[in-house]
Structure 1
Amino acid sequence: MARYHKNRASNLPAKKRNVDPMAAYDALPPELRAWLQGAKLPWSAHSCKKIWTSARAKGASPQEALERLNRIEDATLARDSRRTDAAA
């Protein structure tokens, strides 16, 4: 049986990390920090940086890397049944 967390508006699994989240956030590029401020989901700095670094290594511009994050976020929201049930 799934555990219910009253402060979470998602049924996607939570992940625990053993890092200082503020230090990780402060180490992000300014464009990525700005994107995180308007994100629809509570992203970790680690996961954002991983996507950002991968896109940039493949030659994507900063804007293209942010667009990739937007697509991933939208896909995640689309598979979250709790959010889609609430929107209906």
Structure 2
Amino acid sequence: MTGNLGSTTLKKRRRVADPMMTYDRLPQPLRSWLAGAALPWSPKSCKRIWDKARRNGLSVDDAIVVLTETEQKTLSRDKYCVLVN
């Protein structure tokens, strides 16, 4: 049984961790940012950016700015130009 994969040639991937559990373990400011993000970020990728910013000595507010800038950079590459409120 192939489920809903259809005739795709993509390989199946198994998640190593539960994404909701990963989300629940994020710091509150990061969860708040993620809840209002324009893109559907994974908790794992947000945590990676957050940890790097914090390791570099940035404050919580500065880490949020880094996340927002990263999101804007990603949105600028979108050929359909997603509008952000």
Q: Bin the TM-score by the shorter chain.
A: 0.7 to 0.9
Change (3 A) 1:56 1:41: same
CA distance in 2, matches of 1:42, 1:17: 19
Aligned twin of 1:46: 44
1:17 Cα deviation after fit:
6.2
* Structure 2 gap segments, 5+ residues each: 1-12
TM-score, scaled relative to structure 1: 0.74
1:29 Cα deviation after fit:
0.3
Change (3 A) 1:70 1:17: farther
**Greater fraction of residues in helix:** 1
Higher relative contact order (CA 8 A, sep 6+): 1
* Structure 1 gap segments, 5+ residues each: 1-15
Say which of 64, 72, 75 aligns to 2:73: 75
CA distance in 2, matches of 1:17, 1:67: 32
Q: Give the root-mean-square deviation of aligned CA atoms.
A: 1.6
* Larger Rg, first or second structure (1 or 2): 2
Say which of 49, 58, 61 aligns to 1:60: 58
1:67 counterpart letter in structure 2 = V
Say which of 25, 32, 35 aligns to 1:34: 32
TM-score, scaled relative to structure 2: 0.77
**Percent identical across equivalent pairs?**
49
